[in-house]
Amino acid sequence: MLNKVIKLAEEAGEKIMAFYALDIKVDRKDDNSPLTKADLAAHHHIVDGLKEIDPDTPVISEESGVPEFSERKDWDRYWLVDPLDGTKEFIKKNGEFTVNIALMVNRKPVMGVVYAPAMNLMYYAEKSLGSFRRQKAEGRSEQTERIFSEPVDKSHPIKIVESRSHGSPELEAYLEKEGFNVEERVKSGSSLKICLVADGTADLYPRMGPTMEWDVAAGDAVYRYSAEDGIFESGIEYNKEDLLNPSFVIGLG
């Protein structure tokens, strides 16, 4: 099933890239967040594809609306999708946007695919297999490698990844309170931030601002299964009554 989901993410990425070179028309959702035709095209392709791959499993997508908690509270298995994570980065045309597809079982991601089509970069993970990064650089053959991360070590200077769009005084307060010596800051968009911890590019991703469950589930899977032994717990809870996430920190192990 993983290979089918990877292919589905790639196809959704192609849908998104068809709009990338055009003048991007931006609408606004009820919460004032941006919405483009690329979001909707990817959404419909993924939802339709998942119905073919796994017809008996419900899907929650950012663009489909959220079923009432009374309906979904007892779900033991469902798909959680952000068809275009990082819409702001898509509009800015900086390449740092992703397709996120996660399979949730017992409120935890057991499979995740994060695809950045403008960067030809794919991260994917499955509980039974581990986490992987696949990169296709211009003029080079495609390279796939297993990725690992380690829990952050406070006794050494660290590298953090932070949002390109969301800096915050709360982040600085957290770093000072915990006594981290930050030697480098990597700015990135979308769920790539979580993946950069999973592949060891950064040591820590503290997120002090709001996110939704579909923003992080696929990246969370990539992080969880990047442990050499066992599983890293992210501390993120899923299928809550309100899908808004509180602050979290990726990289503590």
- What digits encode the pLDDT tens for the residues 164-215? 766 688 999 999 999 999 999 999 989 999 999 999 999 999 999 899 999 9
Residue 139, pLDDT score: 62
Residue 31, pLDDT score: 65
Q: Does an H or E element contain 72, and which? A: helix 69-72
Q: Do residues 112 and 104 make contact, with C-beta atoms less than 8 angstroms apart?
A: no
Over residues 109-167, the pLDDT tens digits come to: 999 999 999 999 999 999 999 999 999 776 667 899 999 999 999 999 999 999 876 66
Nearest to 230 by CA among 151, 132, 137, 138: 151
Average pLDDT over residues 30-54: 89
Residues 130, 68 share a domain: yes
CA distances from 100 to 70, 158, 245 (A): 25, 27, 17
- Which residue, 117, 147, 177, sits at the end of a domain? 147
- Which residue, 147, 176, 197, sits at the end of a domain? 147
Task: Give a yes or no: residue 153 inside a domain.
Answer: no
- The answer to whether residue 45 scores a pLDDT higher than 80 is yes
Question: Could you give the angle at which helices 37-53 and 2-20 cross, rounded to 10 degrees?
Answer: 160
- Which residue, 147, 168, 190, sits at the end of a domain? 147
Residues 181, 133 share a domain: no
Q: Do residues 170 and 163 make contact, with C-beta atoms less than 8 angstroms apart?
A: no
Residues 139, 195 share a domain: no
Instruction: Work out the pLDDT band at 18, boundaries 50, 70, 90.
Output: very high
Residues 53, 18 share a domain: yes
Amino acid sitting at position 3: N
Over residues 60-118, the pLDDT tens digits come to: 999 988 999 999 999 999 999 999 999 888 888 999 999 999 999 999 999 999 999 99
Residues 26, 127 share a domain: yes
Sign of torsion, CA 99 66 238 172? positive
Residue 30, pLDDT score: 65
Residue 53, pLDDT score: 97
Give the CATH number for residue 225. 3.40.190.80
Residue 165, pLDDT score: 66
**Tally of structural domains, the chain:** 2
Q: Which 3-state string (H, E, C) describes 181-240?
A: CEEEEEEECCCHHHHHHHCCCCCEEEECCCEEHHHHHHHHHHHHCCCCCCCCCCCCCCCC
